[in-house]
Structure 1
């Protein structure tokens, strides 16, 4: 297993909510804004600001098939991207409580 894949899986396993993001991405900003408004504690890794970001993004494609950011996990479950998270807005607080992120 690649170091990037191990790192991605460790991040997913150790954090109740994870956003794999890019600092300039408007969809990533919308995701983080929604999580902030929800009062969620979450872990963000900006893939454009870490040396192994492109390797982590490639590893995420192997793990869940998604190539774009944001790539969101709640309680080790792949949620998808920003539109997927926004679509769950009504049930988000329950998801976050269940994950221990509120």
Structure 2
């Protein structure tokens, strides 16, 4: 879906989310704690939400939310993001989008 690509490519870190999803909230907090100001797109507040949800599932998100994009590329849902974080790979991916953090360098 064009809307997903547009939002994902225009922002560094994008989380497609639902306002009632606790896993979505956990992923948002993870990025916040890592110093990233992610763009959160609440699909349950979007008139095209059902189509976005279907498109995210077709793109390979098993969920379909949260769906995390970094640098315009789909990283996946909670499991994929947490696996990247635990392996240390997530920090490399988000480095260009991190705000300066005191004493975390």
Q: TM-score, normalised by structure 2?
A: 0.82
CA distance in 2, matches of 1:60, 1:87: 20
CA distance in 2, matches of 1:61, 1:68: 5
SS of the equivalent of 1:88 reads helix
Q: What is the total number of aligned residue pairs between the two structures?
A: 95
CA distance in 2, matches of 1:43, 1:52: 17
Deviation at 1:49, TM superposition (A): 1.3
The structure with the larger Rg is 2
For 1:94, the equivalent position in structure 2 comes to 92
For 1:13, the equivalent position in structure 2 comes to 9
Per-residue CA distance 1:18-77 (angstroms, 9 max, x = gap): 100001111101100100100102111011111111111122233x12252101111122
For 1:65, the equivalent position in structure 2 comes to 60
Cα RMSD after superposing both structures: 1.3
CA distance in 1, matches of 2:53, 2:90: 25
Q: Are 1:84 and 2:56 an aligned pair? A: no
8 Å CA contact 2:60–2:76 kept in 1: the answer is no
For 1:56, the equivalent position in structure 2 comes to 52
For 1:27, the equivalent position in structure 2 comes to 23
User: What 5-or-longer segments of structure 1 have no aligned partner?
Assistant: none
User: What 5-or-longer segments of structure 2 have no aligned partner?
Assistant: 99-105
Task: Show structure 1 runs of 4+ deviating over 4 A.
Answer: none
CA distance in 2, matches of 1:37, 1:59: 29
Q: TM-score, normalised by structure 1?
A: 0.84
